[in-house]
Amino acid sequence: MLNEFAFALINGLANGMAVFLVAAGLTLVFGILKILNFAHGGFFMIGAYVAFTVSGRDNASGFLYLAAAIVAGGAVAALGWAADRAIFRRLRQVDEAYSLIATFALLMVCSGAVKLIWGLDYRSISPPDAWAGAVQIGPLFVPSFSLLVFGLGVVVFILLDLAIHRMWFGKIVQCIAHDQWMAGVIGFNVPAIFTGSVIAAFFLAGFAGGLLLPNQALSPELAGSFLLQAFVVVIVGGLGNIRGAFIAAFALGVVESLNSVLMPTYPGFAIYIAMIAFLLWRPDGLLAHRKDDGAAAPAASLPPPPAIAIPPATKWMAGLIAAAAFLSVPLWAHEGLLFIAGLTLIEAVFALSWNLLFGFAGLATFGHAAFFAVGAYLVGFALKSALGVPFPLLLLMAAALGAAAALLVGSIAIRRTAGIAMAILTLAVSELVRLTIIRTHALGRDDGLSAIPRPSIDFGFAILDLSSSRAYYLFLFCVCATAAAILWALTQNHFGRVLRSIRQDPARTEFLGVPAMRYRLTAFAVAGAAAALAGGLQAPWSQIVTPDAANYLHSTQPMLNALLGGVDFFWGPAVGAVLFSALAYTLRNLPGLSELITGGTLLVVVLAAPSGILGSLAAMAGRRRTGPGASLAVEASERQHA
Amino acid sequence: MLDVRNVDKSYGAIDVLRDVTFSVDEGAAFAVIGPNGAGKTTLFKVLTGEAFADRGEIVYRADSVARLPAWRRIGAGIGRTFQTSRVFPAFTVEQNIVVALEARGRSSGEGRPSWLRIAPSRGVVEEAARWAGEVGLSHRLLEEARFLSHGDKKRLELAMALSLRPKLIMLDEPTAGMSPVERSRSVALIARIRREFGLTLLLTEHDMDVVFDLADHILVLNYGQVIFRGPPAEIRGNAAVRDIYLGQDDDA
């Protein structure tokens, strides 16, 4: 037992240090740019690929291994510098949620580029000869590469800590990170130092990619493999704090090894549970500077919705045309296109439900797929095991379960956390849901549930058979339209007005005598119900449900849809879903390029038109109606407000 | 109407309020003044529920409110405005007041807004227009609040606070950042509204002219302690206050 634990501990700590190597760059980038960079995984992956190109598959030389990592660091530093110039600079003034989504788009661009340049193959790279064996410590045989990674983690930490906390330039960088304007006033060359530290931080990302290249499968999936754990470490350590990240990485290693000894059948659970518990205890992280309570400062961080509204007649017209178009799909489309159209309707409801939280209640959750998965698995399981529950009731049960799950998650997440901490907390919860599914035999583990039959509904006097695609599509259309109409009504009535007030200024809303927390929780439950309903509709439509339904990548889909369409408009997410589906359908045979284009489009939207397609259309229409002079005045005052 | 008894509040090692005791009579106009850092803002936070007192008791109309969350205190009839005006920038003047009115309907139970109804009820819209008129914003009813001037935002805030029909209204520096013309207009507005609605007033203010114009009772805080409590006429003769506060700018 003791040996087993010692072995697990060494492995855990080696992994913890590997995570630290990735997290170090992430936390430094946050410290300087104040952006939590999802694309870090992409940069890390590019580093690994560059190192692979330099050293080749069967590199035996330790020197070449190190040299390749340094080259990788240099290449990624150059990319990071360019990304800062082109993208990050523009994200500094926007809301956290927007910059998170923008960096996610950049991650898509990175992985698209990697697929295009290096292909889709998995490659395994062995460590250089000197580190390929194992070392005997007492009764244990420990892979020497694990020891190397552990040592590298410690060395990198010591060097960074010395540089940041002990050296003069570290202090200057801290000073600039704290207050750029003031640093400029007292005479530092802010742009130069700033650029230098950005390059250094990104160098670290690529360097880590090169160092961690051996002993794992090199593939375009690499971007995600360390990313979540690195996020955990950075958040738990306190954003931007290198010492906190190191301690957290160490703790992660210990937790992981305890996990593998004490709960060997549930790998990975303990990390997320520990992290959720930790975030509830200290939402700001281990070593974060305590924020002053700041209650006097208005919390309205989101840009106010555009001043120009779309005229109601136009809206009704567009809605009718869209509905007619979707209703007519079974008349002219082939099976494949019909399937895509159905998925689009489901994704639209899913995205609308997410945007009820983001666009109306001001809550950015990153784990919305969990509720979708809950609904999908409930319906999939019930249909597959022919439980005999009427399908409409089954859908209602899915919605109820989704609402209950959302209430549970929301009552923890909303009460204790906000902003980035809440984003990561919800992400962790959805990861737990996914891990639970993967471990549950009845839910088909990794493979999911396949061959789910389509239901028929018995009305007593007649039976509605939904087994054909066309029939189910029409049913799907009706349910999605009803769900969307209910969500719409909820955003326009008293409830919606309160939510929009809360989004603009939660504390102010409380001072109208409104329990803002309860409204937010209600919104959470409604959104959870709608997401679960979407999931429930999807199970019999695609006739398969896999754990990917709860994957964090699936959580980002509604965000991308909502942002593309326009988060300030109720129908924005639906418009985005249609556009995204069309884009994905057109580019379906071009792996890599599709991600590149999708990610690139999204980046352009976030940077150039943060109010989305509908926002830009509305602004254009308004300009035509009121003439250029008037709209310039509006824009000027909008800018002033921002 | 409002009894504050032995309230202490500290942030870490700093005692911001020490044993603060006073009471505000129904219908009074009560001003809290003091130099910067005296604890005025913290006192306001503790009274409105933005922060909780470490010790002590706050009694409003025979009920203890010291542990109530902010939104319940509002529901009980304590209104407030903010130092830097806080209105909903993306809402029109009308929508701002409508949201407040619907919130009142909700918390008083007299007109709970229906979930089935999309637009606000006609009664609410008409009342919103009336309140906008009360503070002189009728002509800007459909303008988004972010386009309002600083003074107009403060008026809108006042309209929102008043539309909740508070018995006690707490104004946090109601004339901060205003031009002299706007200031005297605001003072007249506040005095008129107080008369018309029979409000009890609790305000903090830096401008001594405003304090002497509006208040019939003054409390002076210094380093979190009450150093004077009494009518304005007495304050001019009080040596301690002169030293600490008025002494800094005798001419004012």
What is the model's pLDDT at position A129?
A: 79
Check if the beta carbon of residue A284 is closer than 8 Å to that of residue A235: no
- Average the pLDDT over B196-203 and give the result: 90
- Share above pLDDT 90 across residues of chain B, in percent, rounded to a whole number: 19
pLDDT confidence tier of residue B250, bands split at 50, 70 and 90: very low
What is the model's pLDDT at position A14?
A: 85
Which class for B121: exposed (0-12), middle (13-18), buried (19 or more C-beta within 10 A)?
middle
Nearest to A338 by CA among A472, A537, A533, A483: A472
**Contact residues, chain A, for B83 at CB < 8 Å:** 296
**Contact residues, chain A, for B71 at CB < 8 Å:** 510-516
Amino acid making up residue A559: M
CA angle A234, A15, A55 (to 5 degrees): 105
pLDDT confidence tier of residue A607, bands split at 50, 70 and 90: confident
Q: Between A529 and A32, whose confidence is greater?
A: A529
Contact B70 A514 (CB under 8 A): no
Alpha carbons A475 and A481: distance in angstroms, whole number: 10
Residue of A nearest to B114 (CA): A494
What is the model's pLDDT at position A497?
A: 92
Q: Strand B29-33 vs strand B2-11: parallel, antiparallel, or unpaired? A: unpaired
Six-digit token string for A28: 């430094």
For A560, the enclosing helix (H) or strand (E) is helix A552-565
For B21, the enclosing helix (H) or strand (E) is strand B14-24
What is the model's pLDDT at position A299?
A: 38
User: Looking at the complex, does the CB of residue B116 fall below 8 Å from at least one CB of chain A?
Assistant: yes
Alpha carbons B30 and B33: distance in angstroms, whole number: 10
Q: How large is the angle between the packed helices A242-262 and A269-281, nearest 10 degrees?
A: 130
CA angle A498, A631, A499 (to 5 degrees): 10
Q: Between A149 and A293, whose confidence is greater?
A: A149
Amino acid making up residue B13: A
B window 176-235, beta carbon within 8 A of A:
none
**Contact residues, chain B, for A500 at CB < 8 Å:** 88, 90-91
Is the confidence at residue B251, as pLDDT, over 60? no
Q: Strand B200-204 vs strand B168-172: parallel, antiparallel, or unpaired? A: parallel
Query: Which of A295-309, A326-340, A522-536, B132-146 reaches the highest mean pLDDT?
Result: A522-536
The set of residues, in sequence order, having a beta carbon less than 8 Å from that of B17 and lying 6+ positions away, is: B7, B8, B9, B10, B39, B42, B43, B46, B53, B224
Contact B103 A498 (CB under 8 A): yes
Six-digit token string for B222: 């210094």
Q: Which residues of B122-142 are buried (b: 16+ CB within 10 A; e: fewer)?
A: eebbebbbebbebbebeebbe
φ/ψ of B28, rounded to 5, equals -75, 165
CA distances from B103 to A81, A182, A522, B78 (A): 50, 43, 16, 14
State the first-to-last Cα distance of chain B, in angstroms, to the nearest integer. Answer: 32
Residue in B87, B146, B162, B169 to test binding to A, most A beta-carbons within 10 Å: B146
- Average the pLDDT over A309-318 and give the result: 81
Query: Which of A415-429, A514-528, B137-151 reaches the highest mean pLDDT?
Result: A514-528
Contact B83 A296 (CB under 8 A): yes
Is the confidence at residue A52, as pLDDT, over 70? yes
pLDDT confidence tier of residue B95, bands split at 50, 70 and 90: very high
What is the model's pLDDT at position A627?
A: 46
Listed range (A149-158, A536-545, B100-109, B138-147) with the worst mean pLDDT: B100-109
User: Looking at the complex, does the CB of residue B45 fall below 8 Å from at least one CB of chain A?
Assistant: yes
Contact B50 A494 (CB under 8 A): no
What is the model's pLDDT at position A294?
A: 35
Is the confidence at residue A182, as pLDDT, over 90? no
pLDDT confidence tier of residue B126, bands split at 50, 70 and 90: very high
Check if the beta carbon of residue A374 is closer than 8 Å to that of residue A409: no
What is the model's pLDDT at position A625?
A: 55
Report the residue from A300, A515, A641 with minimal CB separation from B71: A515
User: Looking at the complex, does the CB of residue B107 fall below 8 Å from at least one CB of chain A?
Assistant: yes
Is the confidence at residue A298, as pLDDT, over 50? no
Chain B nearest-CA distance from A477, in A, is 23
Listed range (A186-190, A596-600, A622-626, B136-140) with the worst mean pLDDT: A622-626
Six-digit token string for A617: 């259309």
Residue in B48, B83, B86 to test binding to A, most A beta-carbons within 10 Å: B86
The set of residues, in sequence order, having a beta carbon less than 8 Å from that of A328 and lying 6+ positions away, is: none
Six-digit token string for A118: 């290096």
The set of residues, in sequence order, having a beta carbon less than 8 Å from that of A630 and lying 6+ positions away, is: none
Nearest to A563 by CA among A524, A527, A614: A614
Is the confidence at residue A598, as pLDDT, over 60? yes
Is the confidence at residue A219, as pLDDT, over 50? yes
Q: Which runs of E-coded beta strand occur in chain B?
A: 2-11, 14-24, 29-33, 55-60, 63-64, 78-81, 168-172, 200-204, 217-222, 225-230
Report the residue from A307, A493, A510 with minimal CB separation from B117: A493
pLDDT per residue as tens digits for the range A15-28: 888 889 889 888 88
A window 442-481, beta carbon within 8 A of B:
none
Domain boundary assignment for chain A: 2-281, 342-455+464-580
Q: Is the ipTM here above 0.85?
A: yes
pLDDT per residue as tens digits for the range A339-369: 999 999 999 999 999 999 998 988 888 899 9
Chain B nearest-CA distance from A41, in A, is 37
Amino acid making up residue B38: A
Report the residue from B74, B98, B120 with minimal CB separation from A511: B74
Alpha carbons B2 and B25: distance in angstroms, whole number: 7
Nearest to A583 by CA among A570, A563, A601: A601
Chain B nearest-CA distance from A523, in A, is 13
User: Looking at the complex, does the CB of residue B104 fall below 8 Å from at least one CB of chain A?
Assistant: yes
**Contact residues, chain B, for A95 at CB < 8 Å:** none
Is the confidence at residue A167, as pLDDT, over 90? no
B window 64-83, beta carbon within 8 A of A:
69-72, 74-75, 80, 82-83
pLDDT per residue as tens digits for the range A368-400: 999 999 999 999 999 999 888 899 999 999 999
Six-digit token string for A119: 């292909």
Q: Which CATH architecture has domain B1-77+168-252?
A: 3-Layer(aba) Sandwich (3.40)
| CATH number listed for the domain at residues A2-281 | 1.10.3470
pLDDT per residue as tens digits for the range A226-276: 888 888 888 888 887 888 889 988 888 888 888 888 887 777 788 888 888
Is the confidence at residue A1, as pLDDT, over 80? no
A window 482-501, beta carbon within 8 A of B:
489-490, 492-495, 497-498, 500-501
Domain boundary assignment for chain B: 1-77+168-252, 89-165
CA A456 to chain centroid, in Å, comes to 36
